[in-house]
Amino acid sequence: MFQPPSPIYPVADIRAIEAHVAPLAQPTLMERAGRAAAEEAVRLTQDRTGHVLIVCGPGNNGGDGLVMARRLLQAGRSVTVAFAENPDSLPPDAAAAFAAWRAAGGETVSDFPGAPANGWALVVDALFGIGLRRPVEGRYARWIDTMNAQQAPRLAIDIPSGLDADTGAILGMAFQATATLTFIALKPGLLTLDGPDYAGTVHVHRLDIDPAAWLSPPGFEIRPAMVREFMRPRRQNTHKGSYGDVGIIGGAPGMTGAALLAGRAALKLGSGRVYVGLVDDYALPVDHTQPELMLKRPEQVLEQASVLALGPGLGTSATALALLERAARSDRPLLLDADALNLLADAPHLKAQVAAREAPTLLTPHPGEAGRLLGIGTPRVQADRIASALELSTRFGADIVLKGGGSVIATTTGQWFINTTGHPGMASAGMGDVLTGLIASLLAQGWPARSALLAAVHLHGAAADRLAREGIGPIGLTASEVAEAARGVFNGWIVKAARGR
């Protein structure tokens, strides 16, 4: 079944929603959060007995943990609370939670406790939450290190402590959760950069709040439901001309495989015709693996294709630059990837030309290419992936996918999206070329640029996920296998959409 897209809010927006709701909330948001966390703890430990360790910090995240501890204690569970701060310095709600914990008979320890003989049933991180902005140091760094070493399920409340909720960056060190229960809505840092490696399985508890009723979400997690309206079964009375002509230009000497991979992916996703213009003059006249591809001179592809995709194996020669200049002047949808982006980064006149295009333009950089396009280097791109993608979209008047862990899509409307499909097995040669082909194919079939980008990025990862479930990878997964699997996943989406599911 197609699930509705999940909204994503940065910390400032979550705080604004809380400010609206908190004065009216009965029970308080902290009581709701602690109750939800206790319920999650029961679920995670249903097959485990023994003590639950809850490590509480000096703010409201610690207060959530104290409410959780009280509820577990009242339910008959053995709970140990580690808390090293002066309770008099707690914020009001957290101070009330501490008092209620003590009134229920609960106690705290100020040093990290040794594990029981049979180990902890669950280790809970309630240290810092979403407001942390500086590196974790001193006692709490040591505590997190010890928590990460425990042989038990590890639950983070709202976000793993030490993980930047907006960017996914690690602030010195971070709690390594096996599960995260986040409140009200998803936060960007859970889904991109280092977030997926530290958050584990993420569950959202809305605390009986509809965040969109208070503030429109600036971003969404990508789901197939977002593009369902374009997933229509084909009419019987059609022909290959009904499904567009994709033109892939690339394949300089030694890199012809990149262009062929992109072309094969476009063909498998349903393009009527796929032209591949190889820069290598000595390339074979036919793709013996996929003879349906039409190999032509790049100049011919520029004239004949209804959608152009430049970059896979393109190289950075004078010939490649001339082809890019011609493509940028075209009135057709244009996708730029790989070396086309590197050429663009070094050519100011081309930057202006691309930014002035009226036809849809799509850029698909990895962080290194994005850094060159923005002139800021990879580390700064990765420091705030959403901001980097939005800046690229603004500068080039293009829809952008900033690839990587939790790929970020930014559109010319100012919206952004994060993709959660895919796995580390996709870190292999040719994966980006296959993505180029998938996007170009949907564009050629008449999909709007934004929808083509969202669907193809999600499909790319979903195909890899299906293969992993079938025992193909993740290690050793190839781009060719992903292109093949994408066809099956996409056809499954079409069938579901037709059935109204």
> What are 79-101's pLDDT values in tens digits?
999 999 999 999 999 999 999 99
62 belongs to an annotated ligand binding site: yes
Q: Which two tokens stand for residue 180?
A: 């995260």
Extract the residue ranges of the chain whose pLDDT is less than 50. Answer: none
140 belongs to an annotated ligand binding site: yes
The span from the CA of 126 to the CA of 181, in Å, is 11
* pLDDT score of 1: 61
Domain ranges of the chain: 7-221, 244-498
> 7-221: what CATH class?
alpha beta
The verdict on pTM exceeding 0.85 is yes
Look at residue 186 and give its three-state secondary structure. strand
* pLDDT score of 283: 75
93 belongs to an annotated ligand binding site: no
* pLDDT score of 101: 98
Asked whether 52 and 80 are in contact (CB, 8 A), the reply is yes
The span from the CA of 227 to the CA of 84, in Å, is 50
131 belongs to an annotated ligand binding site: yes
139 belongs to an annotated ligand binding site: no
Burial 224-255 (b: 16+ CB within 10 A, else e): bbbbbebbeeeeeeeeeeebbbbbbbbbbeeb
Q: Which two tokens stand for residue 265?
A: 């992916």
> What are 443-496's pLDDT values in tens digits?
999 999 999 999 999 999 999 999 999 999 899 999 999 999 999 999 999 999
Assign domain 244-498 one CATH number from 3.40.50.300, 3.30.390.30, 3.40.50.720, 3.40.1190.20.
3.40.1190.20
Phi and psi of 361, rounded to 5°? -125, 135
* pLDDT score of 105: 96
64 belongs to an annotated ligand binding site: yes
* pLDDT score of 287: 87
179-183 and 201-205 strand pairing: parallel
* pLDDT score of 282: 73
**DSSP E strands, 141-293:** 154-157, 179-183, 201-205, 219-221, 245-250, 273-278
432 belongs to an annotated ligand binding site: yes
231: number of CA atoms within 13 Å, CB side? Answer: 23
133 belongs to an annotated ligand binding site: yes
